[in-house]
Amino acid sequence: MADDLVPPPALSYAEAIAELDAILAELDQGQVDVDRLAERFQRATELVEDLDRRIRTTRRQVESLAPRLDAVGETGLRGPNAEPGLRGPNAETAG
């Protein structure tokens, strides 16, 4: 049965949320014909799985980037080998 599942078309995150919201509204209001109920429920399930995958992937990416940002905070924008007294490119010049 899992082979019968068709992956959702490539949607942006916002588009997928909007489609899911529309399906949930249909289901909540009883607007879905019984003949289409399983189809709509399946589509909602596919969207939830896709959105969950995107969130988990993004979380892993952010968590892997956080140490790099921490490293910049420790060395500043000058970098670890900069001469003392030198400042980053946006620093005010002495005048």
In a domain, 68, yes or no: yes
What are the tens digits of pLDDT across the range 27-86? 999 888 888 999 999 999 999 999 999 999 999 999 998 888 878 877 766 655 655 555
In a domain, 47, yes or no: yes
Domain holding 50, by residue range, is 11-74
How many angstroms from the chain centroid is the CA of residue 17?
12
How many domains does the chain fold into? 1
In a domain, 45, yes or no: yes
Indicate the SS3 state at residue 23.
Answer: helix
In a domain, 27, yes or no: yes
pTM for the predicted model, two decimal places: 0.63
Residue 28 φ/ψ, nearest 5 degrees = -65, -35
In a domain, 25, yes or no: yes
In a domain, 20, yes or no: yes
In a domain, 57, yes or no: yes
In a domain, 52, yes or no: yes
Element (H, E) at 47: helix 34-75
